Structure formats: structure tokens, C-alpha cells
A = this chain, B = another copy of it.
Amino acid sequence: MCRWLAYQGEPLRPSTIVLDAKHSIVAQSLDSPLGAETVNGDGFGFGWYPVADADVAGPRHPSVFRSIEPAWNDQNLREISRAVLSPLFFAHVRAALGPPIQQTNCHPFRHDEWLFMHNGGIAQFDMLRRDLALAVDPGLYPLIQGTTDSEVLFHLALTYGLADDPIAAVGAAVRRVEELGHAAGVPFPMQGTLAVSDGTTLWAFRYSSQGRSRTLFHSADIPTLRAMYPDAERLSLFGDHAQVVVSEPLNDVPGIFHEVGESTVAVLDPDGYHHRPFLDAA
């Protein structure tokens, strides 16, 4: 239903992968070979954390630029993704199935230093919407600004302690969605890939109730790629710790993008990439 990309590593000009890659996220907005929908033209969002400042302790507050225009011809996205440098950023292009096209329905969503985005959906969301809203902490409820399933899911994860244990909290949120869905007779309530970050670590989840999730890929590490492709000039744009998680490969070059498995959470942090099982789809 959407496509997304998340980067973690040395500060990078986001346009490098948001605009300039062969299958950049902007290219995917117009033509997404692996997408559930080919066209993802119903708005987009770009969220980025600032470069760390040695003098400023504590969490880094992300900025978000969102628009209801298709990404492929948006001039402002070109300007902003070329103007900033960021060590961790999210980009998302939307294919709206139900909730209307408005900035408040564009990903990523933000809460304090947290960013969140989602590709997929909660099945029969209209029917479950009220129950899901009631499951959100009443203190968080007024912070919901749009009308997507994804934003409710984010606030469920916040309700279940995202700030303390992101993997457990997202797991509890997904389980709650499944409980409420099953109670309402929905066989496979949850579908999708999720990205969450606090500005330092990036968690990417691939999971669906049916065990048939939207695609998700992560990049091989840069030193390995340099050894594989010593003549690839484009690799010089990236630092040794650059890593990406993305709905589909940014190019067709073998060995660069590896699939993230079903029911898996990928963790990207300054120590690199690792993953572990996430819930159990059975």
C-alpha cells in the first residue's frame, strides 16, 4: 500500500537515496515493481534527525516534512533532501486505500524523539477503528491527528511502552490488534512492515498475521560492497557504517540488498545490522 526507506549511518545527503538511486523511493512512488500497488502517489513524508552536536546531550528531535502531492514531481522534497545532512532519516510514499489524503495521514508520525512509519494495514480497519482507539492510553488519545490505522498502531505501541522497550511494545501493539481483530471475526488482522527510531537506533519489523508480509530488504555492509565492486564510484558517497532498510531494493545490482525474513525485527545501530525473531506468525 506504500513504500518506505530508512537510513542509519554517517551523515548523508538524503537525496542520494531518496532521489538519485535507480529505484529511489521517489522512483518507487511512480513505479514500484514489488509493491502491492504500482503507484504510490497519495502523498509522502520525510523525517530526519539532525547531525549530532557534541555540546547537546539527550535525545535528538526529528523534523518532518509531509505533503499530499505525489513525491515524483514535488519540488520541495528535492530541495529539502538535498539541503540537509542527516545520520538517520525516514522517507515514505503512500498509496491510500481508505483514509483520506491529508498531511496528517502521511508518514512518518512523530512523538517526542520517536519516528514511526508503516507499509501495510490493519484489515477491516473501519470496523475495528473504535475498539483500537479505545485501546490507546487516554492520555495519548488526543495526540492522534489523522485517521490512519498506522497512526493508531503507533499510539498503541506508545501505550505499551515504546520508549522503554521498542520491540516488546510493538509486539504488544500487534498482539492487541490481533486480539481485537479476532474477536471481531477478522482472520488476519495485521499486515505490514514497520520502522521505528529514537534517533540512534532503527528498528524495522516485518510481520503479518498470515505470515505473508510486504517485502523488506536491508543493505549489505559498505566495506563488503566495496570489496565486491571496487570500481563502483557511487559507493564512495557512503560511509563505512551506512545502512538502509527499504521496501524494495534501490537498484538491481546483485548482492547489495538482502531480504529481511518473515516475523523478524531488524535492528540497525552504530554497531551495524542484526536481527531476531519477532512474534510468531503460526
Name A's B-contacting residues (CB within 8 A): 30-31, 38-39, 41-42, 48, 50, 63-70, 72-73, 75-76, 79-80, 82-84, 96, 100-104, 126-127, 129-130, 133-134, 138, 141-142, 145-147
Contacts and interface: CB of A to CB of B under 8 A. Distances in A.
Contact of A80 (B38, B80, B101, B104): B80
B126 A130 contact: no
Contacts of A82: 63
A133 B141 CA distance: 11
Nearest to A66: B76
Contacts of A79: 63-65
Given A39-B41, A41-B41, A147-B147, 5 more contacts: A31-B38, A69-B69, A129-B141, A130-B133, A130-B138
A82 B96 CA distance: 22
Contacts of A96: 73
B73 A42 contact: yes
A212 to B, nearest CB: 24
Contacts of A41: 39, 41, 70, 72
Contacts of A133: 130, 133
Contacts of A76: 65-67, 76
A68 B66 contact: no
B101 A73 contact: yes
Contacts of A134: 134
Contacts of A130: 133, 138, 141-142
B42 A39 contact: no
A68 B69 contact: yes
